[in-house]
Each structure stands twice: as structure tokens, then as C-alpha cells.
Amino acid sequence: MVSFEDRAARLQRIERGQETYGEGDAKSQALAFYLDHMLDEVVARVVKGGARRVREPVELLISLSGFSPLTTIIAFKALNPRRLLVVSSETAADSIDVIAGCLVGPGGLRPRDFTHRSCVPTDPLGIYRILKEELGRAHPVGGARPYAIIDITGGRKVMSAAAALAAWQLGLDLCYIDSEYDAVRHRPVPGSDRLLLLDNPTTLFGEQRMAGALEAFAGGAFESARQRYDELCESLAAPGRARLMRALSDLYRAWCDLDLERLPGCIEAVASVLEHESYQVGAETSERVSRQLGFLRRIAAGERDSLLVCYFVLSEHYRELGRHDFAALLSYRTIEGCLAGRLESLAAGFACDRPDYTLLTGDVPALEERYDEIQRSLGRTGSVNTLPPVIGLMSAAVLLVALGDRLPAKAGIGDHKALSHLNSLVTARNKSILAHGDRPVSPKDSATLGEKAKIALRAAWALRGTGEDVIRLCDDLRFVRTDR
């Protein structure tokens, strides 16, 4: 059996005119010899060592062809697609004939599975249209999109660049026949060929998809963002930033849902990734996220006051997104929690869900009378001289005023007018879809409730005497909107 090296040497002699092989000029004879005696081994070498496996059977190979038909033929035989489209300039018609003669016929492509289109090499839009039209024909209505690869080896450099851009736009993989180049004979060295399968750069580096994931993240769609970042983690060449943003999306989703069971695991997941990938989001954002983790650990540990801060932070988050019913609900919970917490701090053992009023005062009848007086002034009717068996927001506010406590004045609800305004806001909230009615909360009422919640939270924190600026804390806990 003649070795490949001996055949390569004979090819050189044919090219030089030192030996003949069939008819035609030396170039035509050399091409015929290569196809007859060297091509099969070249393809075998390419398949064996030069390419990673394709993801699935190739339905369509789109190959650029110039004056040499060989790269198209090698790519076709290495990938074994079901269909072939050759795109060439009008001056490369001879190459089309060679490709068709080699690949179409018994044991090869059916004539209907071979297509060739000519293009203007310097017209990127024209090349894009050709590729898109062919993909459209290969994509049956309602069916799955066929797996197609674009071979950018042949043709002019401008054609290759245009085809590569089209591939990236259409989400297709690229391939390229690489080889050592013989500068003397102006052709690749036979047998040095290898097929490179190139991922779409948007898959490798993912800037467009990262931007889409970040848009979902910044819009508060944290589950959607988590899913997108999860996909990016599996495909990016450098997935560090996607891993961190995936963990942060999952954390923020659990935070928004007040999913206290999942929260600890999400906290530690972010902490673990942040330890190694903090540079991905910059020092300022990294430090802010670290402070948020510290606060969330307090919530996970059951710290009640921290949960009130959490309500307020989430109410502001939903208000920014225009989700005013959710914002109003959480503002309401903030105010209610501040008032109830203050009541329960006045006497050991007092609880708003099962109140023992003797713990608050030695003169319960006097408290009943004062409470009833304030209730009637607000137009709130109920059992006369009966204190509430369960204390809600307005009953807590009225009780604190009746007791002469300092919180109502600090929270801006210490007089009749302020209490009446608060009562109207509570009524609007109670008629909302997320409470007891079917009316949406207006943006105005939502904003007013938010401002009331802010004042109540600041007042409650001031009476704790810790010196902590709770509003500054809330600003620090606002969800980051960027991964930079």
C-alpha cells in the first residue's frame, strides 16, 4: 500500500507538471488525484483528531466556497450533514461543479439536498439574507429548528466575516478548516487539515444574554433572572459573574417571597460565591451585598424588629415596580408592626393577639372609655366600652393615643386629624384586592402609606434607644440593580 507521504510527493510532481494524471492542466490533474487518492485519508484524520463532537446530527451545512472546492468537501465529509448549501461568488462556478460531482450521486447527497447560491462577496446583508432564507426553508412550520453549521473557510475574507456575523445573529455554530500553509505552492499542506467547531461568541461570552438576564434582574423578575443566569452558567467560558448573579437572584427571590425556610440556604450560597467572585460586581456592590447578608441572617434567626425593616424595604421595592397593592400591604404591615411592637414593649407578657389589658394599666375601665371616645370620633363603631380582643393597626394606634404613649406623636399620628387620615388610608387598603375588597390601591395612596410607614419606623427605632439610623439601614438594603 502506498503511504500517504508517497501520495503527497506524487501530488507535488503532478502540480509541477513532472507527472500526469488524467486530462486538463496541472492544477486540474492535481485536484483529481487528491480527490481520488488522498481525500478519504484526509477526512479520516480530521474526524479522528481534529474536532470535538457536534452536539447533534447536522441537518444543514452552509459552506462558503472560493476557487478551491476542497474545504467544502472536507467539511461535508467530516460532518456528514443531511443537506448542503454552498454559497460562492459568481466567479467560482468551477468549484460548484467539482463539489457537486464529488458529493452528489449514488452513496452521497440526493440532488434535491444540494443547493448552491451565488452572492456579492462584499454585501454582508445579501449573504445574511441567503442564510436566513435557507434556514427558513429547512424549518418546517411548527417543527423544531434544524441544527445547522456554517463553514466559513472558503470564499473571500469579506464573505467569511459576513457569514460569521450572520451566524452570530442567527445563533448558529461555526466551523473552520484549519491547516498548515505551504507558502511555496500556495495551498494547505495535505494531511495537516483539522476541523475546528467554534461556538457562537454570544454563547462563549454571553454579553447579549447577560444583558437580558440583568434586565430581568433589575426589573425585579428574580426567578426569570435566576433561570437565565443558570443557563449562562452552563454555557459561558467564564461563568463566574453568572454564578454570582444566579445566587443573588435566588436570594432576592426568597427575600421578596419572605420564604424564611429557604432564606438561610440562599444566604450561604451568595456568601460562598461572593468569597471567590466579589471582583465580578465591584467593591462597592460586593460590600453592600455582604451587609445585606448580615441583615438577612438576623431575619433568618427570627429577629422580629428586623422583619419590620424587611417589610418596609420590600414595600419600597414593589412601589418602584408599580405594584401598589403589594407595596400597600407591606407598608401596612410595617406600620402595624411598629405600633404593635411598641404596645408589647410597654408591659412584659402583653401580646396583641391575646391582650391582657391589666398589664398595661391599673384602670382598665378608664382605658375602655378613652378608647371608645377616640374610636367614635373617627367614625369607627363597635361594642361600647369594649377593648379589642385582637389588636390590629388602627386599634393599636388608638390604644397608644389613649395610653398617652410617646410613639403616636413621634410617628405623626398623635392628634385627631392625623389619626383620621391614617384611618382613611387603612380603609383604602382594606378595600384592596390583597385585603378584603376588589379595588386596586392608587399610586397616591400607596405613596402616602409608604411615607407613613417610613415615619413610624423611624419613630419606633428612635424609642428603642440604640442610636441606629434605620432609614439609612433601609437604603443600604435596597436591592442592587446592577452587577457592576
- State pLDDT tens for residues 351-361: 999 999 999 99
Position 144 pLDDT exceeds 90: no
Mean pLDDT over 180-185 rounds to 78
pLDDT grade for 226, boundaries at 50, 70 and 90:
very high
- The pLDDT of residue 404 is 94
H-state helical runs in 279-323: 283-300, 304-320
Task: Say if CB 396 and CB 339 are below 8 A apart.
Answer: yes
Instruction: Note the pLDDT tens digit of each residue in 66-83.
Output: 778 998 999 999 888 999
With both helix axes pointing from N to C terminus, report the angle between 240-256 and 304-320 in degrees, rounded to the nearest 10: 110
Position 197 pLDDT exceeds 90: no
Instruction: Note the pLDDT tens digit of each residue in 101-127.
Output: 999 988 889 999 999 988 887 777 788
N- to C-terminal Cα separation, the chain: 64
Q: How far apart, in whole angstroms, are the C-alpha atoms of residue 236 and residue 273?
A: 16
Q: How far apart, in whole angstroms, are the C-alpha atoms of residue 160 and residue 215?
A: 33
- The pLDDT of residue 179 is 85
Give the other-Cβ count within 10 Å of 280's Cβ: 19
Mean pLDDT over 467-478 rounds to 91
- The pLDDT of residue 200 is 62
* In the block, residue with C-alpha cell 445563533: 171
Percent of the chain exceeding pLDDT 70 equals 93
Q: How far apart, in whole angstroms, are the C-alpha atoms of residue 94 and residue 197?
A: 27
Q: How far apart, in whole angstroms, are the C-alpha atoms of residue 19 and residue 435?
A: 94
Position 205 pLDDT exceeds 60: no
Instruction: Note the pLDDT tens digit of each residue in 375-394.
Output: 999 887 765 668 999 999 99
* H or E stretch covering 194: strand 194-198
Instruction: Note the pLDDT tens digit of each residue in 316-331.
Output: 999 999 999 999 999 9
Mean pLDDT over 243-259 rounds to 94
Count of helix runs (H) and strand runs (E) in the chain? 21, 8
Task: Say if CB 312 and CB 454 are below 8 A apart.
Answer: yes
* Per-residue CA distances from 448 to 256, 414, 421, 455, 459 (Å): 22, 17, 10, 11, 17
* In the block, residue with C-alpha cell 463566574: 240
Position 459 pLDDT exceeds 90: yes
- The pLDDT of residue 382 is 62
Contacts of 187 by beta carbon, 8 Å cutoff, 6+ apart? 68, 181
* Per-residue CA distances from 222 to 256, 316, 330 (Å): 9, 16, 19
pLDDT grade for 142, boundaries at 50, 70 and 90:
low
- The pLDDT of residue 139 is 61
Position 297 pLDDT exceeds 80: yes
Average pLDDT of every residue of the chain: 87
Mean pLDDT over 136-164 rounds to 75
Among 245-259, 288-302, 373-387, the minimum mean pLDDT is found in: 373-387
* In the block, residue with C-alpha cell 484549519: 178
pLDDT grade for 332, boundaries at 50, 70 and 90:
very high
Position 206 pLDDT exceeds 80: no
Q: How far apart, in whole angstroms, are the C-alpha atoms of residue 48 and residue 45?
A: 5
Q: How many residues does the chain have?
A: 484
Position 347 pLDDT exceeds 60: yes
| 258 or 467, greater pLDDT | 258
Residue 103 grid cell:
458529493
Residue 380 grid cell:
369607627
| 445 or 93, greater pLDDT | 445
Task: Say if CB 153 and CB 177 are below 8 A apart.
Answer: yes
Task: Say if CB 315 and CB 453 are below 8 A apart.
Answer: yes
For residue 163, the one-letter residue type is A
Look at the pTM and tell me if it is higher than 0.75: no
Closest CA to 88 of 99, 75, 102: 99
Task: Say if CB 64 and CB 84 are below 8 A apart.
Answer: no
Instruction: Note the pLDDT tens digit of each residue in 425-454.
Output: 888 888 888 888 888 989 999 999 999 999
Position 405 pLDDT exceeds 70: yes
Distance of CA 248 to the CA centre of its chain: 11
- The pLDDT of residue 202 is 58
Q: How far apart, in whole angstroms, are the C-alpha atoms of residue 359 and residue 397?
A: 18
Q: How far apart, in whole angstroms, are the C-alpha atoms of residue 446 and residue 188?
A: 72
Q: How far apart, in whole angstroms, are the C-alpha atoms of residue 44 and residue 194?
A: 10
Q: How far apart, in whole angstroms, are the C-alpha atoms of residue 3 and residue 47?
A: 19
Mean pLDDT over 295-315 rounds to 93
| 120 or 471, greater pLDDT | 471
- The pLDDT of residue 396 is 95
DSSP 436: T
Give the other-Cβ count within 10 Å of 292's Cβ: 22
- The pLDDT of residue 143 is 60
- The pLDDT of residue 141 is 53
- The pLDDT of residue 50 is 54
Closest CA to 46 of 183, 201, 138, 151: 151
| 168 or 70, greater pLDDT | 70
